[in-house]
Amino acid sequence: MGRWEPDARGRLAQAALELFLERGYDATTVADIAARAGLTERTFFRQFSDKREVLFGDPAAYFATFTDAIASAPAAAKPLEALSAGLDAATAAFAGMHPYARLRQSVIDANAPLREREQIKRAHLVDELSEALRRRGVAESTARLTAELGAVAFHLAFQRWVQAEEELDLTALTREVLAELRAAAA
């Protein structure tokens, strides 16, 4: 594969995932990833700041998927309804990504520092969701509680989704988990 071929970022991400699965995350270097993709290390660092970013991507864009939909929810929407709009938007973005997500999750599950990084990402998601709800005028404690519940619902649904052999509807799974939370609180 030549250096001039398109989608360097995608090629690097695919090469990284293959190598992480073959050799393990720690045993894979940026040089290995670049070589597998037929690119240079310099090209790798133009696309990613480090090899973890291959798995975790751009957090700002990820969070914006949730928060933009929360902001766009009808003004009369209650906090959990606005949050549900954010979850629906985010989960829809995962359509067709099940095979990749399953492999990515197996790499993360096999590496303690990556699991820790995933937890940090989840904590930041709670902060972002909470702030999006506060911008809608939701009280601090209600915004935080709603954001925590939303992050838990998304996490549980995502876990069910990646553990399934075939791609399920992640949006439907998230709605099911939210319904379970509502039923538990009733």
Nearest to 10 by CA among 92, 117, 100, 113: 100
13 and 87 share one domain: no
Residue 2 has pLDDT above 60, yes or no: no
78 and 151 share one domain: yes
The answer to pTM > 0.75 is yes
Q: Between vectors from CA 108 to CA 147 and to CA 163, what angle results, nearest 5°?
A: 75
In tens, the pLDDT along 97-147 reads 999 999 999 999 999 999 999 999 999 999 999 999 999 999 999 999 999
Please report which residue ranges of the chain form alpha helices under DSSP H.
8-23, 30-37, 41-47, 51-56, 59-72, 79-92, 98-109, 112-135, 140-163, 170-185
Whole-number Å distance between alpha carbons of 34 and 15: 8
Tokens 């096999």 — which residue?
110
Residue 1 lies in a domain: no
46 and 138 share one domain: no
Among positive and negative, which fits the CA dihedral 86, 130, 175, 166? positive
Residue 2 lies in a domain: no
In tens, the pLDDT along 43-61 reads 999 999 999 999 998 889 8
36 and 94 share one domain: no
Whole-number Å distance between alpha carbons of 107 and 135: 36
Domain encompassing residue 68: 58-185
Residue 22 lies in a domain: yes
Residue 11 has pLDDT above 80, yes or no: yes
171 and 88 share one domain: yes
38 and 62 share one domain: no
Domain count within the chain: 2
73 and 44 share one domain: no
79 and 170 share one domain: yes
pLDDT on residue 4: 61
The CATH number of residue 47's host domain is: 1.10.10.60
In tens, the pLDDT along 155-178 reads 999 999 999 999 999 999 999 999
